[in-house]
Chain A
Amino acid sequence: MGSIPSAVKHCLSYETLAQDYPWLARWLQEEKYGAICEFPKTVKIVEVGPRDGLQNEKEMVPTEVKIQLINMLSETGLPVIEATSFVSFKWVPQMADHVDVLKGITKSPHVKYPVLTPNLRGYQAAVEAGATEVAVFGSASETFSKKNINCSIKESMLRFKEVISSAKQAGIPVRGYVSCALGCPYEGHIEPAKVTEVAKMMYDLGCYEISLGDTIGVGTPKLMANMLQSVMKEIPTSALAVHCHDTHGQALANILIALQMGISVVDSSVAGLGGCPYAPGASGNVSTEDVVYMLHGLGIETGVNLSKVINAGEFICQALNRRTHSKVAQATVKS
């Protein structure tokens, strides 16, 4: 074969090629640009305002207001609206009217209305009230699990197993949540491997989708990427969702990185309602309006009508007598 003369090597260097063939450099630039701007074509938004949002409100929201909110959200094009929670009213008084809400809403044929069911008893009550999809709520942090649902992670999996078995028999899909995916208010840093372990347990039990929650909004894009990389080794990307809190203003950046990594399901809350009563200082789910604004700006389809979401947000904020957390709503609605 023989060695290539140095003069020839020089001529064949990338830099020289780029100089002589500008289209090549441009093409490579586009590829570079394309890599950063590779996003899913469609993103499914899971609206958690009526449950995750409202359950954190101190003032009891009347049933009819909840129903109207959900009905308004049903008209926006949102494909999934978490309607209520079949937990004991002793723990979450705001959700005491779960049966009335689930029975009272006008169910759109294009929308799913999952409800939270922490255990078999809650599941049975939910099905009796007409639920056709349920959700179970695990944690990547032992301490948070004990403080939030009063049992260890292992014990919670046993509870979920009961729910999922029954749901499977009834043909009812189950969504799984993993909280504290990017940090815990009690334990601090949570290892991605732990998040993966819990997510995998829930997926293997039969959850069709796992929503990974940055419960106290401490995460930043690198933490999000590291966590997702770990989880994506065990669970198909299409079965994953991100549930970001905007407590430190990082939610949209975290969602962006998740999208770049192929995630195509995002949880959010109209008007940025909600937080977690069990995580001190935690506040603010990311606002659905702000998420939709970003997704549409990226050319990603959501099926959602942003103006109608803003209207629904305006309605609930008026009922709660407080300002929306959504920046898009603040910029758009002339108060």
Chain B
Amino acid sequence: MATLMRFVNHSFCSRMGHRSIALSCNSSVARAFGAAAGKPLPAKVKIVEVGPRDGLQNEQTIVPAEVKIRLIDMLSEAGLPVIEATSFVSPKWVPQMADQVEVMQGIHKKPGVNYPVLTPNLKGFQAAVKAGAQEVAIFGAASELFSKKNINCSVEESLQRFEEVTKAAKAQGVLVRGYVSCVLGCPYEGKVSPEKVAHVAKRLYAMGCYEISLGDTTGVGTPGGMSEMLEAVKQEVPVDALAVHCHDTYGQALANILVALQMGISVVDSSIAGLGGCPYAKGASGNVATEDVVYMLHGLGIQTGVDLHKLMDAGAFICQFLNRRTSSKVSQAACKL
């Protein structure tokens, strides 16, 4: 028995010792990169480009379909693996996305690239599939008030609508991505509990979403809040099925993304030239710029498959059309004006 207990202690302590060494001693570098957790930073990160949808839907100027198509084609050439093409919501709510069918049918679909589209309900899903969509996205919220103001129903009602979509999608072999907004704070409710976020994420995952994108919709989050929230969600959804969608409204996006990477997240949403925000969240502006995310990831030695120069060209193209300056600092630094 004594031998057994010594063995238990040794086995346990050597495991603990290993962690303690990684934590306390040397490699402050390893510690900073989360290697103490036994997980180095991901070798690869998948970037989900949301500029053509999340970005453009917030622009006042209606962007013609051919410009959207050209943008998406340029983004495809830049090596992005996922490009959210458009949104099958009613044009009454989001006039910018009224040309959804034309865009969906007009883009050159590069083999190996996914082009998910937003579908708030069964009607939108059916229209999306008819227009050729092979992947759709549904958009929930961790805040009741935001849900009511953004999609006109409670969180529970929205989840029931989404279940209709996921059932139909499953029957037709269409992939579904789930979004949870307001994960680090709500413009109406203020603080949002990590448990609430985990609950909504779990429901979306259970109903068949292959990936859950956790969105800091108004960009209020800071790295501490991000890690606390991810810690809660990871108890319910495998980390490989999680993504972060950070807004840079308070300049915190890259720091939040870094912490997410340290916690094992390997899918990051971003928007070319930092286009977009949310028309329903007052004061919210600025998805994090894809160029700045890619710059950081490449600097960290993480593979993305993205060509930064081609990406910057796509950003320059859309900013020229919109007649405004890019929100990407990397692009600003490269552009000698």
Asked if A249 contacts B328 (CB within 8 A), the reply is: yes
Asked if A1 contacts B329 (CB within 8 A), the reply is: no
B33 surroundings in chain A (CB, below 8 A): 222, 225
A223 surroundings in chain B (CB, below 8 A): 299
The interface size of chain A toward B, counting residues with CB under 8 Å, comes to 56
Residues 21-61 (chain A) with a chain B CB within 8 angstroms: 28-29, 31-33, 35-38
Asked if B296 contacts A253 (CB within 8 A), the reply is: yes
Q: A12 at interface (Cβ–Cβ under 8 A)?
A: yes
Q: How many A-B residue pairs have CB under 8 A?
A: 154
Indicate whether A220 sits within 8 Å of B295 (C-beta atoms), given known contacts A35-B37, A247-B333, A297-B252: yes
Q: B336 at interface (Cβ–Cβ under 8 A)?
A: yes
Indicate whether A256 sits within 8 Å of B4 (C-beta atoms), given known contacts A32-B36, A249-B328, A250-B296: no
* A269 smallest CB distance to B (angstroms): 13
Q: A93 at interface (Cβ–Cβ under 8 A)?
A: no
B329 surroundings in chain A (CB, below 8 A): 246-249, 284
The interface size of chain B toward A, counting residues with CB under 8 Å, comes to 55
Identify B32's interface contact among A12, A17, A246, A260, CB under 8 A: A260
Q: B34 at interface (Cβ–Cβ under 8 A)?
A: yes
B296 surroundings in chain A (CB, below 8 A): 220-221, 249-250, 253
B224 surroundings in chain A (CB, below 8 A): 37, 297-299
CB nearest neighbor in B for A217: B333
Identify A36's interface contact among B12, B37, B250, B298, CB under 8 A: B37
CB nearest neighbor in B for A282: B333
Asked if A297 contacts B223 (CB within 8 A), the reply is: yes
Asked if B11 contacts A14 (CB within 8 A), the reply is: yes
A37 surroundings in chain B (CB, below 8 A): 223-224, 227
Asked if B29 contacts A225 (CB within 8 A), the reply is: yes
Indicate whether A17 sits within 8 Å of B255 (C-beta atoms), given known contacts A36-B34, A249-B295, A328-B250: no
Q: Which of B81-89, B96-104, B123-131, B256-264 contacts A (4 or more CB under 8 A)?
A: B256-264
Identify A331's interface contact among B36, B223, B249, CB under 8 A: B249
Asked if B31 contacts A297 (CB within 8 A), the reply is: no
Give 13 new A-B contacts, CB below 8 A, not counting A253-B254, A257-B32, A281-B333: A14-B15, A17-B12, A33-B231, A35-B37, A36-B37, A220-B295, A246-B329, A253-B258, A253-B296, A283-B333, A294-B222, A328-B251, A331-B250
17 contacts between A and B (CB under 8 A): A14-B15, A29-B231, A32-B37, A36-B262, A36-B263, A221-B258, A229-B27, A249-B292, A249-B296, A250-B254, A252-B251, A253-B255, A253-B296, A256-B255, A281-B336, A293-B252, A331-B219
Binding site for A on B (CB under 8 A): 3-4, 7-8, 11-12, 15, 19, 23, 27-29, 31-34, 36-38, 219, 221-225, 227, 231, 248-252, 254-255, 257-259, 262-263, 283, 285-286, 289, 292, 295-296, 298-301, 328-330, 333, 336
Binding site for B on A (CB under 8 A): 1, 4, 8, 12-14, 17, 28-29, 31-33, 35-38, 217, 219-223, 225-226, 228-229, 232, 246-250, 252-253, 255-257, 260-262, 281, 283-284, 287, 290, 293-294, 296-299, 326-328, 330-331
